[in-house]
Amino acid sequence: MKWKQYTIQTTTQAEEFVSGMLAELGIAGVQIEDNLPLSTEDKEKMYIDILPELPPDDGVARISFFLDDDGNHEEFLSRVREELENLRAFVDVGSVEIIEKETEDKDWIDNWKKYFKSFVIEDILIKPTWEQMPQQGEYRSVIEIDPGTSFGTGKHETTQLCIRQLCKYMKPGDRVLDVGCGSGILSLVSLKLGASSVTGTDIDPICMEATADNMQINHLSMEGNHFFHGNLIDDEQLQREVGKGYDIVVANILADIIIPLTPVIPDHMKKGGIYIMSGIIDFKEEAVRKAVVDAGFEILEIGSQGEWRSITARK
């Protein structure tokens, strides 16, 4: 679908004023571009996989809103310009020049790709499908990934914590359950490390398509591997479909989901099986620890990368 994108050149100081004014005029949402670093609270709320490196803040902000392509918006834009001038009495709004361009839905989906570059974790190379293989380097495995619109490039600290633990605890022939599989990155790693089979679940149906695509990209057969849409916490039908007897369960989700999920996990594992959890912000660590111990697990180690934690436990 095509849209008209209107971008107001303003200041970081005026961001909230301009956004509020647009909301009062009926604009449901805006896109804000500036060089202000994200706060810790913002990062936790967004849980984004890739944080771009920004240049120094220059005080400039660009606020964009979108209107249907098939209409005359001059009357509305005149009202916007009038309200912007009224805001000058309260705040420095900058030039408030409005730049118009045409855009499509796919532009929003693809813009993040410029921030996703190849990287190595342990001795595994993870690269986007649109990049060439590096000319130098020896890797145990190479994983190509196209996350599409689902979470999971492997770049986020929580995913890297899980990959390290999979490298440490995975044995050839292990059966793996990937809860919250996203783009399938941890399932791909598991199979490359020698898993005999992988079962994945996710509450987002888009993840099923993304995972299947990434399996094909990496020349991995879907035969014997299964991916289900649903919530393992309370979906009894899904619990039956997932089955029992897993050697490793990996859950890279969020602490508030891991806590109610954990009591469900032992029924799907072999005795002595390994449970790897990540997506745990530092101040949630104790709450997750308690849930893990209360579910009968023995905690083997706590991993840390930045403000994120992983917990590895044994049934």
Q: How confident is the model at residue 40 (pLDDT cuts 50, 70, 90)?
A: low
The confidence score (pLDDT) of residue 287 equals: 95
- Closest by Cα among 63, 62, 59 to 20: 63
Alpha-helical runs (H) found in 88-204: 105-110, 157-169, 185-192
| Neighbouring C-beta atoms of residue 94, cutoff 10 Å | 19
Assess whether pLDDT exceeds 50 at residue 47. Answer: no
Assess whether pLDDT exceeds 90 at residue 1. Answer: no
Select the more confidently predicted residue: 120 or 77.
Answer: 77
Assess whether pLDDT exceeds 70 at residue 285. Answer: yes
Give the neighbor-by-neighbor strand order of the sheet with 98-104: 31-33, 60-68, 2-11, 98-104
Assess whether pLDDT exceeds 50 at residue 149. Answer: no
| Count of residues making up the chain | 315
Average pLDDT over residues 87-116: 76
- Per-residue pLDDT of 194-240, as tens digits, reads 999 999 999 888 888 888 988 998 999 999 999 999 999 999 999 99
Select the more confidently predicted residue: 115 or 9.
Answer: 9
Least confident of 41-45, 95-99, 161-165, 227-231: 41-45
Select the more confidently predicted residue: 189 or 58.
Answer: 189
Classify residue 222 by its DSSP letter.
-
Q: Would the pTM of this model clear 0.85, i.e. be above it? A: no
Average pLDDT over residues 277-293: 94
Write b or e for each residue in 223-239: b if 16 or more Cβ atoms lie within 10 A of its Cβ, otherwise e.
Answer: eebebbebbbbebeeeb
- The rounded percent of the chain whose pLDDT value lies above 70 is 85
Structure tokens at 278: 């990540």
List all residues 6 or more positions away from 61 whose beta carbon is below 8 Å from its beta carbon: 10, 11, 12, 14, 15, 32, 33, 34, 94
Q: H or E segment at 212?
A: helix 205-217
Assess whether pLDDT exceeds 50 at residue 50. Answer: no
Beta strand pairing status for 269-281 and 308-314?
antiparallel
In angstroms, the CA 115 to CA 33 distance is 15
Assess whether pLDDT exceeds 70 at residue 312. Answer: yes
CB contact at 8 A, 150 and 182: yes
278 phi/psi in degrees, rounded to 5: -150, -175
3-state secondary structure of 262: helix
Q: What is the mean pLDDT of the chain?
A: 85
The confidence score (pLDDT) of residue 41 equals: 55
Assess whether pLDDT exceeds 80 at residue 135. Answer: no
Q: Is 25 left (phi over 0), alpha (psi -120 to 50) or beta?
A: alpha
Assess whether pLDDT exceeds 60 at residue 14. Answer: yes
In angstroms, the CA 160 to CA 298 distance is 22
Assess whether pLDDT exceeds 80 at residue 155. Answer: no
The confidence score (pLDDT) of residue 28 equals: 75
What is the DSSP track for 30-86? Answer: -EEE--PPPPHHHHHHH--S--PPPPPP-SEEEEEEEEESSS--HHHHHHHHHHHHH
Average pLDDT over residues 21-27: 88
Average pLDDT over residues 34-48: 59
